Structure 1
Amino acid sequence: MSANTAVTRTVDVDGTPFAYREIGLAEGVPLVLLQHFTAVLDDWDPAVVDGLAERHRVVLVDLRGVGGSGGTTPDTMEAMATDLAAFVRALGFGQVDLLGVSMGGMIAQALAQQEPGLVRRMVLAGTSPAGDAGPANAMALLQGALHESAAVGKHPKHVLFFSPTATSQGAADAFLARLNERTQDRDAEVTNETIGAQATALANWELKSSPDGLATVSQPVLVVNGDNDVMTPTISSFNLAQHLPNARLSIYPDSGHGALFQHHELFVRQTLEFLSA
């Protein structure tokens, strides 16, 4: 089983079907992957998923209202974290590791504060602590990228996830090609309602007074980002690592928000080493 062939299943979470896929080992602490703003199951890079699945039980999930899952998407990270906890328990897991990208990293932080016993370790990529000054408006940033990318005949992720250098743009081409490898049982796209709720959740996260709650997060955390992130400024990763009592920081060169996809071999290696430490 691989990222491109894993069957999409659903599990009942308090009366709502949540779509998910499992890849990798059948035992050990599961690694739950949490996606970025507007993303669904098919936005996960197969190179990252398959690399992690060589040594872990990897679970991809659409939270409430996202992709193939039912229900209505909440507009706070805390409510999304509550849904995540219910999903984890619905699959019978007593404890999990988390890999959260961008908005997914915020959900992971919220869950670690709400239910610390449920989380063993976390990898937080391209994300920020609550109250940190990120992009002023997620929707405005997305619209700007749509216009910019259309003007040059590229995908918005060329602009939002990768640096403008030739090397990074070449990595963007390779990444987008990998996302199109799966041809069967593809996930549903996010709705406008979900996009609006997620944008509100991002705004609410930035408007929080401070990230003081992170002082209680004692789990080991690996914080990752590119050195030129235009979506969640790279300085936010430094701030996040400083607020966490037990964090290590890894900044990848010539890369942006999608650093873990551009440098997927390095990211997988560092993540596997961190999770098994």
Structure 2
Amino acid sequence: MSVDHQVVVGRRSLRMRVRPGTGTGPPLVLANGIGVPLEVLDPFVDALDPAIEAVSFDAPGVGGSPTPPVPLPYQVVASLLGSALSKLGYGAVDVLGISWGGGLAQQFAFQNPKRCRRLVLVATATGAWMMPGRPNVLRHMLTPRRHQDPVYARQVAGLIYGGSMRNPDAPMPLQARAQGGSSRGYAYQLLGTAGWTSLPFLPLIRQPTLLLAGEDDPIVPIANARMMARLLPDARLVTYADGHLGLLTRADELAPVVAEFLAGTDITEPVR
């Protein structure tokens, strides 16, 4: 059974959730996309090998983590996360980041080369210097309206998320679990990472890295994952026939891929 914690580090507080694992390996820390609470990743956590301990958290300004007085850059959030993990008694960890959380995961791995054992980057890119999505897609990302208005979310789901979300009858994995977030917290997440890029330090990330990329991702075109696979010294790229939310909509297929990678075994790619 998962256990929630409110972890205080200095003047900051992070809501964190631990799903205990039955194995002895390091925990997998999950960094979420922008503006959504940790519950959104439940489908993936539920599908993940029970031997793997899963640690998820709400980024500052999201869900149960209070909005900071000023925007926090990735470097500060990565340091805050590291301190919170230490308070929970964790040493070495594996880290998975999706979308906005993928940038945080890259920063965490760079700042903690000995503490971060393996890295999983899903539907993410290198920040300011990336192959961008189309302008008519990115404009919908400037506000949290898609997280707060179910009717609007359904109208734009296919356009912005692609993949299975192009089916108008597909379940909405974000609206099913997310509570309306703070507009100020969302804006601070955007402002805190404005101008950030991992391009200068990607070649310095030596951890084994798994890149998961959807073949129909309007927000983060697959060209970004291919570029990152070339720049990271020890990377494996696995693509899947879905869009930006493939980690949730294809959790039963992708969770075993992640587990195999963390175990250091040969990866069985998703069935197409």
TM range, smaller chain: 0.7 to 0.9
Q: Which of 13, 30, 34 is equivalent to 1:33?
A: 30
Question: Could you list the per-position Cα deviations for residues 235-254 of structure 1 after superposition, in whole angstroms to 9, with x for gaps in the alignment?
Answer: 1111111111000001111x
How far is 1:143 from its partner? 5.9
Closer, same or farther: CA 81–200 of 1 in aligned 2, 3 Å: same
**Ranges in structure 2 where 5+ consecutive residues have no aligned partner:** 265-272
SS for the counterpart of 1:212 is coil
CA distance in 2, matches of 1:188, 1:75: 22
- Which residue, 117, 121, 130 being the options, matches 1:120? 117
2:18 to 17, 22, 26: 22
1:243 to 223, 231, 248: 231
Alignment partner, residue 211 of structure 2: 223
Kept after mapping to 2: 8 A contact 1:100/1:106? yes
Q: Deviations over 1:82-138 (max 9, x none)?
A: 222122212121111011001101001011111211100011000002422324698
Deviation digits for residues 144-200 of structure 1 (CA, Å, limit 9, x no counterpart): 9969x988882654543232676x555x417458x44xxxxxx86431111111112
Instruction: Report the equivalent of 2:59.
Output: 63
Q: Output the TM-score relative to the length of structure 2.
A: 0.83
Amino acid across the alignment from 2:185: T
Alignment of 1:131-142 (within 5 A): 131-135=129-133, 140-142=139-141
Structure 1: state its 5+ residue gaps. 181-186
**What is the alpha-carbon root mean square deviation over aligned residues?**
2.9
Which residue pairs with 2:270 in the alignment? Answer: none
Determine if contact 1:23/1:57 at 8 Å carries over to the other structure. Answer: yes
| 1:30 CA displacement | 0.9
Distance 2:236 2:6 in 1: 35
Which has the higher mean CA deviation after the structures are superposed, 89-98 or 99-108? 89-98
Aligned to 1:190: 181
Instruction: Tell me the equivalent position of 1:183.
Output: none
Separation of aligned partners in 2, 1:69 and 1:174: 24
CA distance in 2, matches of 1:61, 1:197: 17
Q: Secondary structure of the equivalent of 2:171?
A: helix
Q: Which of the numbers 219, 228, 244 marks the counterpart of 1:257?
A: 244
Paired residue for 1:233?
Answer: 221
Q: Number of residues paired by the alignment?
A: 258
Q: Relative to structure 2, which stretch is displaced further, 102-111 or 151-160?
A: 151-160
What letter matches 2:252 in structure 1? E
Which of 124, 129, 132 does residue 126 from structure 2 map onto? Answer: 129
What is the aligned partner in structure 2 of residue 160 from structure 1? 160
TM-superposition CA deviations, 1:55-75 (whole Å, max 9, x none): 211011113332111351634
CA offset at residue 22 of structure 1?
1.0
Identical positions, percent? 28
- 1:85 aligned partner, one-letter code: G
Q: Could you tell me which residue of structure 2 aligns to residue 43 of structure 1?
A: 40
Structure 1 residues 40 and 152: alpha-carbon distance in aligned structure 2, compared to 1, 3 A threshold: closer
Residue 233 of structure 1 aligns to a residue in which SS?
Answer: coil
- Whether the 8 Å contact between 2:29 and 2:93 is mirrored in structure 1 is yes
Preserved contact between residue 22 and residue 57 of structure 1 (Cα < 8 Å): yes
Distance 1:53 1:69, change over 3 A: farther
SS in 1 for 2:226: helix
1:19-43 alpha-carbon deviations (Å, 9 max, x no partner): 1111131643011100001111222
Given residue 115 of structure 1, which amino acid in structure 2 is its aligned partner?
N
* Alignment match, 2:8: 12
Aligned amino acid, residue 163 of structure 1: G
Q: Shift in Å at residue 54 of structure 1?
A: 1.1
Q: Residue 103 of structure 1 contacts residue 127 of structure 1 at CA under 8 Å; is this kept in 2?
A: yes
